[in-house]
Structure 1
Amino acid sequence: MPDFTIDPPVVLSFSHLDPCGASGIQADIETLSSLGVHCAPICTSLSAQDTLSIHHSTPMAATLIIEQARAILEDMPVKAFKLGWLGNSNNIEAIHTILTDYPHIPVVFDPCLKLGEPEDDHFIQAIQALLLPQCDIVILNTVEAHLLAPEADNLRACASEIHSYDCEHSLITGCQNTANKIASHLYDVHGLLKQYQQQRIKKPFCGAGSTLSASITAYLSHDFSLLEAVQQAHKYTWESLNHGRRIGMGQLLPNRLYWAESRH
């Protein structure tokens, strides 16, 4: 469990506002706080979504995103950047300028492409050209991997294409699934680095990917190695899902503060 007696590391999070609390900014705040990290949230878009589906998303102004981020970076000792859904290519370009000015700060990217196709045609290309080269790790499900690597015919080839943009690591979730097991594969430029296999929780969830990526960021901000961070994040995410709750009429939400409730 996190040690709340010391000053927490700070993570600067760029993502959307999800009103049902499953993903985006609230997922990052809950996960990071649960793991002893202070989240400084920058809202990239406003979405209309519930536990059933996503209805609409409106990007924020890129100038406001830059202004917010620079205010935090000049005030707080940020240990890591967490990127989620960024809205459009203008926002990607804005965030790229921030990351370029702070190359020593690790970057975790969960693009959340399941939120839908943005209105501009250059969104995927902007991710490939401007963000992937800045990433210490990008977290993708199998559909997102193929969207970022459209020429690839399998997941290993997806990872290879993604790493051709100088991304250091990619974690592809939902690999080699069975009725009782679910696996994630961690890749680097040389190929498959490690496999993570867990017992499948046979319930529908929204926010699982956001929990995993935010918890990886949390452990990195606590100075865990990347392999240790990914390992511990899988354990934390599984427990959050195992203690998940049905709050709305759709999918279950992760219980990211499960460890606090278990004490009572």
Structure 2
Amino acid sequence: MSAAVALTVAGSDPSGGAGIQADLKTFSALGVYGTAVLTALTAQNTRGVTGVHAVPAGFVSEQLATLFADVTVHATKLGMLGTADVVHAVAAALAGRPGGPVVCDPVMVATSGDRLIDDAAVDAVRSELLPLADLVTPNVPEAAVLLGVPPATDVDQLAAQATALLGLGPRAVLLKGGHLGGEDSVDVLATADGVTVTRRPRVDTTSTHGTGCTLASALAALAARHRTGDWARLVDPARDYLQRALQAGGTLGVGSGHGPVHHFAGIWER
């Protein structure tokens, strides 16, 4: 049997904690062969983003077409796409579903607070990518932007907004509640079968760079490895992986701001 293959379509993070670097590390940690199509170059570190250079949409299309012509991809993770033109290109390339289940992390704002996507791209994500997505994984601010409503402030509102996002076309929504605060980190999975709430103890750490990228890519990796889009089955192991990465992030000592999570926690030590 050939290796399970996952694809990340996202921007690059020179500091290695987020973007395609985080995705490829996550794929590897979870036993999946990683492929990558770059949509943007960023100048960033653990303290913030100082610049974004978009890859031309035509070259994003060429990367995708060339990859799919040769490599069988079992699951695809979408991250920062940056511009409306790139969103159009990615949506067109995935319309025939050559990359297996699609996990869309609608990256709009970095952990540092820096905006990573323009308004036209937000509209394109809403209208073109969400209907293609098998799973969309927004955080609280991103869900509010996509729905045009105030951010959720409690678990009931999380559930209501996750359900509302289903109306935009994705087959499932994992609304991440980390912004709510509290002793637990609460996520809500909404599917056609209903709403499921998952909780993990909140990790007291500043090493949170790349958490959203890591969770979405873990879900894509598990979907590729198990050849399934049964998200109710995959959310818990993906969250467990992220929990370990968060707990060990501080041991890396990388950077002086929001350090990265430890994608190889429990692996390097062995």
Q: Same fold (TM over 0.5)?
A: yes
- C-alpha distance in 1 between matches for 2:141 and 2:198: 19
Q: Does 1:86 align with 2:86?
A: no
* Structure 1 residues 9-48: aligned runs within 5 Å: 9-48=4-43
Query: Which of residues 115, 121, 138 is equivalent to 2:136?
Result: 138
Question: Which deviations, in whole Å up to 9, do the C-alpha atoms of 1:216-262 show, x marking residues without a partner?
Answer: 10110012532121110000010011111230011121111112223
Structure-2 change in CA distance of 1:104 and 1:40 (3 Å): closer
- C-alpha distance in 1 between matches for 2:239 and 2:32: 17
Residue 253 of structure 1 aligns with an amino acid whose one-letter code is P
Query: Which of residues 54, 60, 65 is equivalent to 1:65?
Result: 60
Aligned-residue offset at 1:190: 5.8
Q: Is contact 2:104-2:133 (8 Å) kept?
A: yes
Query: Which of residues 236, 239, 244 is equivalent to 2:244?
Result: 239
SS in 1 for 2:70: coil
Q: Is contact 2:80-2:117 (8 Å) kept?
A: no
Residue segments in structure 1 that go unaligned for 5+ positions in a row: 1-5
SS in 1 for 2:109: helix
Structure-2 change in CA distance of 1:247 and 1:117 (3 Å): closer
Q: Does 1:262 align with 2:264?
A: no
Residue 111 of structure 1 aligns with an amino acid whose one-letter code is P
- Most deviating of 85-94 and 218-227: 218-227
Question: Which deviations, in whole Å up to 9, do the C-alpha atoms of 1:185-230 show, x marking residues without a partner?
Answer: 11124652x1111111111211111111110101100125321211
- C-alpha distance in 2 between matches for 1:107 and 1:91: 16
- C-alpha distance in 2 between matches for 1:94 and 1:217: 20
SS in 1 for 2:95: helix
Residue 227 of structure 1 aligns with an amino acid whose one-letter code is A
Aligned-residue offset at 1:156: 3.3
Question: Which deviations, in whole Å up to 9, do the C-alpha atoms of 1:143-201 show, x marking residues without a partner?
Answer: 11101111467433422332112111111112695542111111124652x11111111
Q: Is contact 2:81-2:117 (8 Å) kept?
A: no
Structure-2 change in CA distance of 1:177 and 1:162 (3 Å): closer
Q: Is contact 2:109-2:117 (8 Å) kept?
A: no
Residue 74 of structure 1 corresponds to which residue in structure 2? 69
Q: Does 1:112 align with 2:92?
A: no
SS in 2 for 1:246: coil
Structure-2 change in CA distance of 1:180 and 1:161 (3 Å): closer
SS in 2 for 1:90: helix
- C-alpha distance in 2 between matches for 1:90 and 1:102: 19
Q: Is contact 1:49-1:55 (8 Å) kept?
A: yes
SS in 1 for 2:37: strand
Normalised by the length of structure 2, the TM-score is 0.89
Report how many residues are paired.
256
Aligned-residue offset at 1:128: 1.1
Q: Is contact 1:176-1:183 (8 Å) kept?
A: no
- Most deviating of 67-76 and 104-113: 104-113
SS in 1 for 2:6: strand
- C-alpha distance in 1 between matches for 2:79 and 2:99: 20
Query: What's the % identity of the aligned pairs?
Result: 28
Residue 125 of structure 1 corresponds to which residue in structure 2? 123
Q: Does 1:218 align with 2:221?
A: yes
Structure-2 change in CA distance of 1:9 and 1:195 (3 Å): same
Query: Which of residues 227, 237, 257 is equivalent to 1:250?
Result: 257
- Relative contact order higher in (CA < 8 Å, ≥ 6 apart): 2
Structure-2 change in CA distance of 1:237 and 1:253 (3 Å): same
Aligned-residue offset at 1:117: 5.3
Q: Is contact 1:159-1:191 (8 Å) kept?
A: no
Normalised by the length of structure 1, the TM-score is 0.91
SS in 2 for 1:113: coil
- C-alpha distance in 2 between matches for 1:108 and 1:171: 10
